[in-house]
Amino acid sequence: MSIEFYTIDEYAKEWMQNPDDVAAYLNEILNDGDEALLLVTLRRIAKNYNGGIRGLSNDLEMNRSSLNNALAPSGNPTIKTLRKILDQLGYEIQVVPKRRDNHAEMA
Protein backbone atom coordinates (compact mmCIF):
# COMPACT_ATOMS: atom_id res chain seq x y z
CA MET A 1 0.00 0.00 0.00
CA SER A 2 1.43 3.36 -0.96
CA ILE A 3 0.74 6.56 0.89
CA GLU A 4 -0.03 9.67 -1.11
CA PHE A 5 1.48 12.91 0.09
CA TYR A 6 0.15 16.33 -0.81
CA THR A 7 1.80 19.68 -0.51
CA ILE A 8 -0.15 22.26 1.47
CA ASP A 9 -0.90 24.06 -1.80
CA GLU A 10 -2.32 20.89 -3.38
CA TYR A 11 -4.42 20.19 -0.31
CA ALA A 12 -5.64 23.79 -0.15
CA LYS A 13 -6.57 23.81 -3.82
CA GLU A 14 -8.69 20.68 -3.38
CA TRP A 15 -10.24 21.94 -0.15
CA MET A 16 -11.15 25.28 -1.72
CA GLN A 17 -13.42 23.59 -4.25
CA ASN A 18 -16.25 23.67 -1.69
CA PRO A 19 -17.31 27.30 -1.04
CA ASP A 20 -19.31 26.30 2.04
CA ASP A 21 -16.22 24.78 3.66
CA VAL A 22 -14.18 27.86 2.81
CA ALA A 23 -16.87 30.19 4.22
CA ALA A 24 -17.11 28.13 7.42
CA TYR A 25 -13.33 28.27 7.84
CA LEU A 26 -13.20 32.03 7.20
CA ASN A 27 -15.99 32.53 9.76
CA GLU A 28 -14.09 30.50 12.36
CA ILE A 29 -11.02 32.64 11.77
CA LEU A 30 -13.12 35.80 12.14
CA ASN A 31 -14.68 34.44 15.35
CA ASP A 32 -11.23 33.67 16.74
CA GLY A 33 -10.01 37.16 15.81
CA ASP A 34 -6.81 35.94 14.14
CA GLU A 35 -6.29 38.72 11.61
CA ALA A 36 -2.98 37.39 10.29
CA LEU A 37 -4.47 33.94 9.65
CA LEU A 38 -7.43 35.55 7.88
CA LEU A 39 -5.10 37.42 5.53
CA VAL A 40 -2.89 34.38 4.91
CA THR A 41 -5.99 32.29 4.13
CA LEU A 42 -7.36 34.94 1.76
CA ARG A 43 -3.96 35.06 0.07
CA ARG A 44 -4.05 31.27 -0.43
CA ILE A 45 -7.57 31.54 -1.87
CA ALA A 46 -6.39 34.37 -4.13
CA LYS A 47 -3.53 32.23 -5.42
CA ASN A 48 -6.10 29.68 -6.57
CA TYR A 49 -8.26 32.36 -8.21
CA ASN A 50 -8.42 32.21 -12.02
CA GLY A 51 -5.16 33.87 -13.01
CA GLY A 52 -3.84 33.84 -9.45
CA ILE A 53 -3.05 37.03 -7.59
CA ARG A 54 -2.32 38.82 -10.86
CA GLY A 55 -5.73 37.83 -12.24
CA LEU A 56 -7.47 38.89 -9.04
CA SER A 57 -5.69 42.24 -8.95
CA ASN A 58 -6.64 42.84 -12.59
CA ASP A 59 -10.29 41.95 -11.93
CA LEU A 60 -10.30 44.20 -8.87
CA GLU A 61 -8.57 46.95 -10.85
CA MET A 62 -6.09 47.05 -8.01
CA ASN A 63 -2.31 47.28 -8.17
CA ARG A 64 -0.85 43.79 -7.66
CA SER A 65 1.66 45.11 -5.13
CA SER A 66 -1.16 46.73 -3.13
CA LEU A 67 -3.10 43.45 -3.15
CA ASN A 68 -0.01 41.56 -2.02
CA ASN A 69 0.53 44.05 0.79
CA ALA A 70 -3.13 43.88 1.85
CA LEU A 71 -2.99 40.08 2.06
CA ALA A 72 0.38 39.86 3.80
CA PRO A 73 0.28 38.51 7.39
CA SER A 74 1.14 42.02 8.58
CA GLY A 75 -1.31 43.61 6.13
CA ASN A 76 -3.90 46.08 7.29
CA PRO A 77 -6.54 46.29 4.55
CA THR A 78 -9.43 48.69 4.96
CA ILE A 79 -12.89 47.20 5.32
CA LYS A 80 -13.61 48.52 1.82
CA THR A 81 -10.64 46.61 0.39
CA LEU A 82 -11.49 43.47 2.34
CA ARG A 83 -15.11 43.57 1.14
CA LYS A 84 -13.95 44.11 -2.45
CA ILE A 85 -11.57 41.14 -2.30
CA LEU A 86 -14.12 38.86 -0.64
CA ASP A 87 -16.80 39.87 -3.14
CA GLN A 88 -14.56 39.05 -6.10
CA LEU A 89 -13.70 35.69 -4.51
CA GLY A 90 -17.41 34.96 -4.08
CA TYR A 91 -17.87 35.69 -0.36
CA GLU A 92 -19.34 38.45 1.77
CA ILE A 93 -19.11 39.78 5.30
CA GLN A 94 -22.26 39.68 7.41
CA VAL A 95 -23.01 40.98 10.86
CA VAL A 96 -25.14 38.79 13.11
CA PRO A 97 -26.20 39.24 16.72
CA LYS A 98 -23.64 37.97 19.15
CA ARG A 99 -24.73 34.91 21.08
CA ARG A 100 -25.33 35.84 24.68
CA ASP A 101 -25.35 33.85 27.87
CA ASN A 102 -28.95 33.03 28.83
CA HIS A 103 -28.45 34.98 32.04
CA ALA A 104 -27.00 38.09 30.44
CA GLU A 105 -29.22 41.13 30.69
CA MET A 106 -29.85 43.46 27.81
CA ALA A 107 -29.00 47.06 28.65
What is the block-wise mean pLDDT of the chain (107 residues), using blocks of 10 residues? 75 82 92 93 92 96 96 95 96 86 59
Q: What is the pLDDT of residue 5?
A: 74
Q: What is the pLDDT of residue 95?
A: 86
Q: What is the pLDDT of residue 106?
A: 57
Q: What is the pLDDT of residue 72?
A: 95
Q: What is the pLDDT of residue 3?
A: 81
pTM recorded for the entire structure: 0.80
Three-state secondary structure readout of the chain: CCCCCCCHHHHHHHHCCCHHHHHHHHHHHHHHCCHHHHHHHHHHHHHCCCCHHHHHHHHHCCCHHHHHHHCCCCCCCCHHHHHHHHHHHCCCCCCCCCCCCCCCCCC
Contact 82, 93 (CB under 8 A): yes
